[in-house]
Structure 1
Amino acid sequence: MMHTSSVLAFPPPDAAESAEWLRKKLAYYADAWDVAEDLSRGVSEIVVIDTRSPEAYRAGHICGAVSFPHRTMTAESTASLDRSKVYVTYCDGIGCNGSTKGAWKLASHGFRVKELIGGLDFWRRDNHPLAEGDEPGSWPLAATLPGCGC
């Protein structure tokens, strides 16, 4: 009895086309490991933006992230941002589109952006450090990056 493949019902593109599409996909997203690694190394070219409400930010956010709710992003409110930086937006997780709305608004105002895959949910799942309160906080010197296995 011959079995048909569900995976191959839609054949994959050739290798070059796959490589180009995947390169583009990686240009739009960052994962928790990559962001944590950059924050732990003090990479200054990125700014992590928490697009949730000030109350959600205060309750717990990525160490070093700036609170900038997507609902408040306008041409005027973004005017003082540094256009040489890459802004990494996040919200609660895959069930929330606040990071997408924030990234869209920033990009619409001429900023380079990436979204954090899985948001704060994946950040917590990977056991990366959090800060509480109204200040961004900084990466704890004693923090080590857990292995992500990828």
Structure 2
Amino acid sequence: MTSLVSAVPAAASVVALMHFSNRLTFETDCSDVFASQQAGDLDFVLLDVRGPHAYERGHVPGALNIPGRLITADVLAAYPKSTLFVVYCAGPHCNGANKAAVKLAALEYPVKEMIGGVTGWLDEGFELSGGIERSVSAAIGCEC
């Protein structure tokens, strides 16, 4: 009897290697961002792409706030084209980070998404900065 998992065969190892290796060029996770911050390895700009009210209620420490809808060449003019941006939004239920990543890539900046966003950050047990509202639901809002 075949399980639902194996009903569709797994990809060949060479294809799986390419797929998962490619994903790592597009994504990072909350744990890697946190570890890089703790080590002082800040060779990227962490960008919270939610609206300003959500950012003020709570954001990942060290993140700048540029709402996705405001990402333009003029806003980013101070950053060299080699600047790696790591974008995040509310969480896996929101595509704001994906939309921001599209804009950054179209402007020819390297970009990765911090998968999980604020939800993932909190799930890892990491603290948020800013704001007086510390409840999870208050901090996660998107506004994008």
Aligned counterpart, 1:123: 121
Amino acid at match of 1:82: P
Give 1:74 shift.
Answer: 1.4
CA deviation string 1:107-139 (max 9, x = no partner) = 110000000111000101111122105xxxxxx
Aligned counterpart, 2:42: 44
Amino acid at match of 2:70: T
Gaps of 5+ in 2: 132-144
Give 1:26 shift.
Answer: 1.1
Identity %: 36
SS of 1:105's partner is helix
Aligned counterpart, 1:90: 88
Q: Does the Cα contact within 8 Å between 1:78 and 1:106 map onto a contact in 2?
A: no
Q: Does the Cα contact within 8 Å between 1:63 and 1:131 map onto a contact in 2?
A: yes
Divergent runs of 4+, >4 A: none
1:64-143 mapped onto 2 (5 Å cutoff): 64-132=62-130
Larger Rg: 1
Aligned counterpart, 2:31: 33
Give 1:100 shift.
Answer: 0.7
Range that drifts further, 75-84 or 47-56:
75-84
SS of 1:77's partner is coil
Say what the alpha-carbon RMSD is for the aligned residues. Answer: 1.2
Amino acid at match of 1:20: M
Gaps of 5+ in 1: 134-150
1:17-32 mapped onto 2 (5 Å cutoff): 17-32=15-30
Partners in 2 of 1:62 and 1:70 — Cα distance? 16
Aligned counterpart, 2:8: 10
Amino acid at match of 1:85: T
CA deviation string 1:5-58 (max 9, x = no partner) = 222221112111111110001111111101100111111211110000111111
Alignment size in residue pairs: 131
Of the three residues 42, 59, 62, the one matched with 1:61 is: 59
Give the alignment's TM-score, normalised by structure 2: 0.86
Give the alignment's TM-score, normalised by structure 1: 0.83
